[in-house]
Amino acid sequence: MREGAKLHTVTRVYKFDDPNGEIYQKLRKGASIASLGVEPKEFSIKEGNVFLNEGLNFIWMAVTGATGLTYFNSANSYIGVGDGTTAASASQTGLQGTNKYYKLVDSGYPTVSGNTVTFRATFGGTEANFAWNEWTVANGNSDTAVNLNRKVESLGTKPSGATWVLEVQLSIS
């Protein structure tokens, strides 16, 4: 008998020119990317990340019925982005950069399908306009929240007037 768990992450980044904020409004309301009828200016898929100790501890506390937890539901799930370049380490407790922005997930998120949970947040034209070098999923809008994970990888520099979407799928198998 073999024991072991595999943690896997897939991140999708969609970048739209959206000077009037129309795409932003639709996506924040939960519209699918496919329903927009507009191709993103840029799209990329990234894999991997570091699950943080505080996030794994939270999962075990939830499994054992601990009280007083702030769950990763639609009212409390945030995706944070920052400009930090410090290598990811399981002992970290949030984003490491100087510029950072935590955004509440879009309507209808997170979703669960089988062993995968999906978080999606849409950042509008005036939000998080800096180099996106790191990201996390948290149960609050700051580094003091519980962060499930952290990934360090350049996703580009978000310009003013652009709408960017960060979709994060976390799986345990």
- The pair phi, psi for residue 95, each rounded to 5°, is -70, 150
User: What's the whole-number mean pLDDT along residues 124-152?
Assistant: 97
Radius of gyration for the alpha carbons in the chain, expressed in angstroms and rounded: 16
pLDDT, tens digit (0-9, with 9 covering 90-100), for 85-111: 999 999 999 999 999 999 999 999 999
What is the torsional sign of CA 34, 170, 103, 131? negative
Residue 1 above 80 pLDDT? no
Q: How far apart are CA 128 and CA 138, in angstroms?
A: 16
pLDDT, tens digit (0-9, with 9 covering 90-100), for 19-69: 999 999 999 999 999 999 999 999 999 999 999 999 999 999 999 999 999
User: 15 and 40 in contact (C-beta within 8 Å)?
Assistant: yes
- pLDDT for position 5: 77
Residue 3 above 80 pLDDT? no
Q: For the chain, what is the mean pLDDT?
A: 96
- pLDDT for position 130: 99
pTM listed for this prediction: 0.95
- pLDDT for position 7: 86
